[in-house]
Amino acid sequence: MSIGAEEFEKHKNPLKYTVEFLRTNRDNAFTIESIAKAINMDVSEVKNALFYDTLASILDPRYGSLIDSATVRGVIYYKYKGQ
């Protein structure tokens, strides 16, 4: 069984594709499930990527995350916060 190079790269760095999707759709906020569906990736991969992004911003104050999050009625939404 094999996969293409593009598919390999996507799963190697899911945060890159998550940020790219959010940048393209910067006027809206999305749940992890909707992001995963839009970029054709498993929910757990997107969840892990966003977890590590949050962890990096906690551990290193100089880390500049491009993703902002907000909880609305118990659901976490993510939005691109870059310029």
The answer to whether residues 17 and 24 touch, using CB atoms and an 8 Å cutoff, is no
- Model confidence at 30, pLDDT cuts 50, 70, 90, reads very high
Most distant CA atoms of the chain, gap in Å: 43
Place of tokens 């940020």: 19
Averaged pLDDT of the chain = 92
**pLDDT value for 10:** 72
Domain of 54: which CATH number? 1.10.10.10
Q: What would the DSSP string read from start to end of 3-22?
A: --HHHHHHHH-HHHHHHHHH
Q: Please tell me the total count of domains within the chain.
A: 1
Q: Which residues of 11-33 are buried (b: 16+ CB within 10 A; e: fewer)?
A: eeebbebbbebbeeeeeebbebe
The answer to whether residues 39 and 6 touch, using CB atoms and an 8 Å cutoff, is no
**pLDDT value for 72:** 97
Domain carrying residue 34:
5-80
Which whole number is the average pLDDT over 59-83? 93
- Model confidence at 43, pLDDT cuts 50, 70, 90, reads very high
